[in-house]
Amino acid sequence: MKTKKGFMLRSVANRHVVVAVGQASVDFNGLITLNDTGAFIWKKLSEGCTYDELLADMLKEYEVDEATAREGIDAFLEKARGAELIED
């Protein structure tokens, strides 16, 4: 999985936002705000990773059980796929 080209994560006033740049900004108007966990997932996806790698990294980074981590990842991926922000 990987984030689509043309979307960048930025920190603005201690907030994480994803903005469209270049050609992507023609089709996507606006920005997406993320919490710290969402920004962590976005960074991993921007590097490219599998679901299992993302899950392992989440479990290393956060004090959370596997079921909770999977739930959070699944919710994030569902929204990102719905907005066509990632490629599988």
Residue 62: inside a domain, yes or no?
yes
Residue 44: inside a domain, yes or no?
yes
Confidence of residue 12 (pLDDT cuts 50, 70, 90): confident
Residue 88: inside a domain, yes or no?
no
List all residues 6 or more positions away from 12 whose beta carbon is below 8 Å from its beta carbon.
none
Supply the pLDDT for residue 9: 96
* Per-residue pLDDT reduced to its tens digit, 37-88: 999 999 999 999 999 999 999 999 999 999 999 999 999 999 999 988 999 8
Q: What is the mean pLDDT of residues 21-29?
A: 85
Residue 35: inside a domain, yes or no?
yes
What's the whole-model pTM score? 0.91
User: From its phi and psi, is residue 86 left (phi > 0), alpha (psi between -120 and 50) or beta?
Assistant: beta
The domain tally of the chain equals 1
Task: Residue 2: name the closest of 59, 49, 41 by CA.
Answer: 49
Instruction: Confirm if 7 and 19 have CB atoms less than 8 A apart.
Output: yes
* Per-residue pLDDT reduced to its tens digit, 26-44: 888 788 999 999 999 999 9
